[in-house]
Structure 1
Amino acid sequence: MNALSNEEVRLRARGAEVVVRPGSGCRLASLRVDGVELLRQGAEYGSFVMAPWCGRTAAGRFRSGGEMYQLPVDETGHAIHGLVRDVPWRTARADERSAAFVRELGDPWPWSGTVNQLVELAEDGGSLTLTLGVETFGDSFPAQVGWHPWFRRNLGLGGEDARLEFDPAWREERDEHHIPTGRRVEPGSGPWDDAFGVPDGLSATLTWPGELELKVASRAEWVVVYDEQDAAVCVEPQSGPPNGLNSHTRLVTPISPLELSTTWSWRRHEPSA
């Protein structure tokens, strides 16, 4: 049984182990399968939560209910990846295979509410399910949720780099600030730092030939793929596209929270005879 901790929560099942650091944005710091690390290591990597928006909100501004709101911007001049990835969360409960975490929303977000993340390893150690929720107990507000995992491009076992397969319906054309223009274009070929529409839900496969296969599945209708770095491939299920607070409004109300899940499943490749 895991002790509740503000520093590190470890989940284990068969040959799989997950490390969550609630004090660092409820980030998944590690995902190991039979001793093989799948996530890029480092304080800003692993896999982090994006909420209450995903990607960039243009100039940090969005309109809701006739009011214009201003979010803090970074050096790009835009508000990026939400407000919860670098702040401490509270561990609500944890056992050997699952844990639940909570973070309150407030200033500089204009409304009060909570973000919740449930992390669950399957009993057979063959998959991990992450579930995000955003709730309000007062005024309704727009929101998005998503994950930004940094999967290692090479597992360091002497094999080839990862190959990504997915079949989006379209790619969002973006401007020089990486903000979607509203025009849908053919997916094209990578490398990418782009948002894609997957209206039937996300199904993506990362294959490290001869070593391991990992599937990322979600009912999310949007995914961002970022594979411009040599060290990692990011496959990011999202409830809406970048700048979605302006273009694809989803209201969180007291009777209609926002909830999204993703399941990562894997299998090791047997060595050739």
Structure 2
Amino acid sequence: MTASSPRRASIARAASPTPFDAAALDDNQLIALAHGASRALIAPHVGGSIAAFYDDDPIHGAQHWLRPATAEALDARDPLGMASFPLMPYCNRIRDGRFRFEGEMIDLPSGTGALRHALHGHAWRRPWSVESRDAGSVTLHFVHEAPARGGEGWPFSYEARQHITLDESGLAVRLWARNLCTRAMPFGFGHHPYYPRPPGTRIAARVRAMWEIDAEVLPVTLSAHPAVEALEDGLVVDQFDLDNNFSGWRREALIEWPAEGRRLTLRASAPLDYFVLYSAAGLPWFCAEPVSNTTDWLNLQLDGLAGRLDVGGTVLAPGESVEAHLAWLPGRI
């Protein structure tokens, strides 16, 4: 738990109160998926992001399941203003943008101050290509080529795909990645969704423990924080000011908007066994993120602060691939 954090400063622009502009849907760079009254808008050019997921209600207008992108965010190609974006090749931050892997110190491009901690990988900052599409699905493709030795950037080549499907059950994403290197590569992945947060919004999830954080929002120790029990019973989002990772997630979370009679179930598959809850006070949205690794997992392993079961992440051999599934399933209370 934290009263203020560098992460909050870095995403403040995403909290803009500018209302969603339906005219943004006319952007021919967005891919519209439709099934019955359900709609999903995909922005391949904005980090392979999901721009919106909603029901088109002829009486009440659009009912959004994820926080929709604004026209401002779409114009700026700002993934932090999207409904959700992919996290690859690691989730959240790496302390000081540095880690040691197989005896080699890896330095990642980073800024200064709070931004010296490498954030969310890089796939969210680059355009994805459209590999195939139809009325209810789209497959996006992304390739990262490692820089020449001594150059800046993630020093491992890989490719990734997102297969996004909208059907009668909801919106689903199949994430896949493959190591293109001739050497092993550490890898973590997930998605970073934002949700509407009207008063009374609550979330329920079963987790084992919460990572307490330091002043720079980096995990330092596992604890049985009160939020762990509150999540199991159904946590009212406004009651907790969190920016924390949870281990032992059962890969399901239930979000409810009681005043609207709506609920949204988030389901995921292994290895998305970790869960991030970001519910800073005063924002009109919150984040509940399915991820495969704890923030700074590579350094936590080296520091011996936790066993592998509590930090996640994986190592892909040359040519090895990994995949996971996640879905948002709308319903009524």
Equivalent residue in structure 2 for 1:213, among 237, 260, 263:
263
Q: 1:69 to 1:6 in 2, by over 3 A?
A: farther
Distance in 2 (alpha carbons) for counterparts of 1:191 and 1:94: 40
Q: What's the CA shift for 1:211? A: 2.6
Give 1 or 2: higher strand fraction.
1
Distance in 2 (alpha carbons) for counterparts of 1:171 and 1:224: 9
> What stretches of structure 1 of length at least 5 have no aligned partner?
155-159
Corresponding residue number in structure 2 for 1:187: 225
Q: How many residues align?
A: 256
State the TM-score, normalized to the length of structure 1. 0.88
Corresponding residue number in structure 1 for 2:184: 140
> What stretches of structure 2 of length at least 5 have no aligned partner?
1-26, 57-61, 74-79, 148-152, 228-239, 302-311
Equivalent positions of 1:192-207 (< 5 A) are 192-199=242-249, 201-207=250-256
Q: What's the CA shift for 1:180? A: 1.3
Q: What's the CA shift for 1:255? A: 4.7
Corresponding residue number in structure 2 for 1:250: 314
Equivalent residue in structure 2 for 1:29, among 51, 63, 72:
51
Equivalent residue in structure 1 for 2:66, among 28, 32, 39:
39
Equivalent position amino acid for 2:48 in 1: C
For the 8 Å contact 1:144–1:245, the answer to whether it is kept is: no
Aligned-residue RMSD, C-alpha = 1.8
Segment drifting more, 7-16 vs 248-257? 248-257
Corresponding residue number in structure 2 for 1:72: 109
CA displacement, residues 147-166 of structure 1 (integer Å, 9 cap, x when unaligned): 11011113xxxxx4421111
Corresponding residue number in structure 2 for 1:226: 278
For the 8 Å contact 1:135–1:253, the answer to whether it is kept is: no
Equivalent position amino acid for 1:80 in 2: L
Q: 1:86 to 1:195 in 2, by over 3 A?
A: same
Q: What's the CA shift for 1:20? A: 0.5
Distance in 1 (alpha carbons) for counterparts of 2:28 and 2:246: 35
Q: 1:6 to 1:112 in 2, by over 3 A?
A: farther
Q: What's the CA shift for 1:51? A: 0.6
Does 2:152 match 1:110?
A: no
State the TM-score, normalized to the length of structure 2. 0.73
4+ residue stretches of structure 1 with deviation over 6 A? Answer: none
SS of 1:245's equivalent?
helix
Identity among equivalent positions (%) equals 25
Equivalent positions of 1:40-55 (< 5 A) are 40=67, 41-42=69-70, 43=73, 44-45=80-81, 46-55=83-92
For the 8 Å contact 2:188–2:292, the answer to whether it is kept is: yes
Equivalent position amino acid for 1:68 in 2: M
Equivalent position amino acid for 2:290 in 1: P
Distance in 2 (alpha carbons) for counterparts of 1:262 and 1:102: 17
Give 1 or 2: higher helix fraction.
2
